Amino acid sequence: MFGGQAELPVTFRIRMFYARGAAAHHSDRNYPVFMNTPGLKVICPTNAYDAKGLMKTAVRDNDVCMIFEDGIAISSRCEVPNNEDLPDGELLVPFGGG
């Protein structure tokens, strides 16, 4: 957005919920609003492995990152290896692979 002249390394975690009987404006997925905003990276992990790796990548990124966490998927279980079990020693999931 600024041609590399400025950096704003910040990561926002946003939890999304929806429930039966909730009004439409309380059950919306609002990440599409931000997807077309220049300079923002919108991240929507679908499992624990991706959530951990994408979160670590976002924290290290020099741009604004918004991580939208699904309230339903947050309770799902998935095998996430320890850092010492990984070949590179750390779980990092690169952006743009989804």
What DSSP state is assigned to residue 31? Answer: H
All domains of the chain in start order, with CATH: 10-85 (3.40.50.970)
Sheet containing strand 10-16, strands side by side: 10-16, 64-70, 40-43
| pLDDT more than 90, % of the chain | 22
- What is the residue-averaged pLDDT of the chain? 81
Q: Quickly state the pLDDT bin for 58 (edges 50, 70, 90).
A: very high
Phi, psi of 60, rounded to the nearest 5 degrees: -85, -10
pLDDT tens, position by position, 7-39: 889 999 988 877 666 666 666 778 888 888 888
Cβ burial 69-86 (10 Å sphere, 16+ → b, else e): bbeebeeeeeeeeeeeee
Alpha helices in 5-45 (DSSP H): 31-35
Instruction: Specify the pTM.
Output: 0.76
* Whole-angstrom distance, CA of residue 85 vs CA of residue 82: 5
